[in-house]
C-alpha cells in the first residue's frame, strides 16, 4: 500500500514538473533567446504567419524584412517589419519608425519592399500595417474610423511583444491618407513621440470638395457618408479642426502643386501648430505627391536623430 502510494506521489510530482516546464517553455519571452532580432521567434497567437521577405540585393545588404499577420478587433491584419542588419548585430533594442501608408483599400497598399526602402532611408526599424480591408487584411477600409485601431494595436505589439524595439522615441511617418491615420493616433496615444507628415491629409472636408466624383465616392463608401450628412465623422479624421490637441513635434513636407492633397491643408495646419509645438515646414514648388527629395531625406534623418 505504501509502495503504491509512493509511486502515485512520484507520478504526480513528475506530471507537475512536466506541466510547469511546458508552461514555462510556452511563455518564454523571445528576448531570452539568443537572437532578439530573429523575428520568427515572436510567432504566437497574436502574431503569426511570419515569413521572411526576399529583397533586392541592395536592400538585403542593409536590412532584413518580414511579413506577418496580427489580430486587431478580432480581424487578421497583414503587416511588414524591416530591421537594419547593423542594428541586429548589436543585439540591443533599437529605435522604431511606424510608416502609415496612403491610398484606400488595395490602392496604395504596402509592397514587399516598402518598409525596407524606408528602413534604408532612416536607419531605424520600420513597421507598417496594411490596415483592415487592404493588402489581404480582413475587414473593411474605414479611412480613419475603426481601422485606426489597427495602428494602435500594432503600437501595442511593438511595446509589449517585440522586445527588440526601444519605445523611448517611437516616431510615425504618415503619407497622404496616412495623415488620417497618424494625427488621430497621436491624439489618442502618447507613446508616439514625433510625427513626419508627407503630403498628408489633414482636412477631409477640403479633400471631398476638391476631389473628382470617383474620389468623392471612395470617401462616401469608406467613411459611410458625405461631409454634409455627418460632419463629425469628417472632423474626427481632420487634424486641422483639433490642432491644439497635437502636443508633439511635427515635420511637415508638402509640394505647392500637389494635385491629390492640396497644399493649403499643410499650410493651414502649420499655422495652427507653429506657436504651440516644435514644428518644421518644408515646401516645394513642384507637384510631387509623396515623392521625397534629397532635401527631404536629409531633413527626415536629422529629425529622427535630433533627440
Residue 9's pLDDT band (boundaries 50, 70, 90)? very low
The grid coordinates listed for 5 are 502510494
Q: How many CA atoms lie within 13 A of 6 on its CB side?
A: 3
Write down the pLDDT at residue 252. Answer: 98
Cα 216 to chain centroid, rounded: 26
Condensed to tens digits (0 to 9), the pLDDT of residues 186-240 reads 999 999 999 999 999 999 999 999 999 999 999 999 999 999 999 999 999 999 9
Asked if residues 158 and 166 have their Cβ atoms less than 8 Å apart, the reply is no
Write down the pLDDT at residue 307. Answer: 67
Classify residue 110 by its DSSP letter: P
Give the Cβ contact number of residue 89 at 10 Å. Answer: 9
Distance CA 52, CA 14 (A): 39
**CA neighbor of 222 nearest in space, from 299, 282, 134:** 134
Is residue 37 over pLDDT 90? yes
Share of the chain above pLDDT 70, in %: 89
Report the range of poorest mean pLDDT among 30-39, 144-153, 183-192, 272-281: 30-39
Q: What is the mean pLDDT of the chain?
A: 91
Q: Is residue 94 within a helix (H) or strand (E), and if so which, with residue range?
A: strand 94-100
CATH topology of domain 39-304: Rossmann fold (3.40.50)
More confident residue, 68 or 25: 68
Condensed to tens digits (0 to 9), the pLDDT of residues 114-144 reads 999 999 999 999 999 999 999 999 999 999 9
Q: Is residue 117 within a helix (H) or strand (E), and if so which, with residue range?
A: helix 114-122
The grid coordinates listed for 176 are 497622404
Sequence-distant (6+) residues with CB within 8 A of 256 are 263, 283, 284, 285, 286, 287
Amino acid at each position: 500500500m505504501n509502495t503504491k502510494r509512493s509511486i502515485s506521489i512520484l507520478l504526480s510530482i513528475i506530471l507537475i514538473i512536466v506541466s510547469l516546464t511546458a508552461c514555462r517553455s510556452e511563455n518564454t519571452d523571445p528576448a531570452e533567446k539568443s537572437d532578439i532580432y530573429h523575428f520568427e521567434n515572436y510567432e504566437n497567437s497574436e502574431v503569426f504567419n511570419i515569413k521572411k521577405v526576399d529583397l533586392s540585393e541592395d536592400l538585403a545588404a542593409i536590412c532584413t524584412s518580414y511579413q506577418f499577420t496580427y489580430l486587431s478587433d478580432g480581424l487578421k491584419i497583414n503587416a511588414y517589419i524591416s530591421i537594419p542588419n547593423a542594428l541586429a548585430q548589436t543585439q540591443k533594442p533599437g529605435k522604431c519608425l511606424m510608416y502609415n501608408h496612403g491610398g484606400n483599400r488595395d490602392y496604395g497598399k504596402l509592397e514587399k519592399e516598402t518598409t525596407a526602402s524606408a528602413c534604408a532611408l532612416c536607419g531605424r526599424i520600420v513597421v507598417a500595417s496594411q490596415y483592415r480591408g487592404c493588402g489581404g487584411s480582413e475587414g473593411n477600409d474605414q479611412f480613419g474610423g475603426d481601422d485606426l485601431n489597427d495602428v494602435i494595436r500594432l503600437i501595442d505589439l511593438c511595446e509589449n511583444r517585440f522586445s527588440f524595439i526601444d519605445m523611448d522615441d517611437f516616431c510615425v511617418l504618415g503619407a497622404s491618407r496616412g495623415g488620417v491615420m497618424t494625427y488621430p493616433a497621436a491624439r489618442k496615444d502618447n507613446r508616439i513621440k514625433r510625427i513626419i507628415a508627407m503630403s498628408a491629409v489633414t482636412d477631409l472636408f477640403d479633400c471631398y470638395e476638391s476631389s473628382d466624383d470617383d474620389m468623392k465616392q471612395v470617401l462616401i463608401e469608406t467613411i459611410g457618408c458625405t461631409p454634409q450628412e455627418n460632419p463629425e465623422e469628417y472632423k474626427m479624421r481632420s487634424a486641422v479642426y483639433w490642432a491644439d490637441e497635437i502636443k508633439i513635434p511635427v515635420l511637415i513636407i508638402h509640394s505647392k502643386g500637389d494635385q491629390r492633397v492640396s497644399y493649403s491643408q499643410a499650410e493651414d495646419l502649420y499655422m495652427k501648430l507653429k506657436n504651440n509645438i516644435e514644428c518644421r515646414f518644408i515646401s516645394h514648388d513642384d507637384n510631387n505627391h509623396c515623392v521625397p527629395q534629397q532635401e527631404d531625406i536629409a531633413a527626415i534623418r536629422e529629425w529622427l536623430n535630433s533627440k
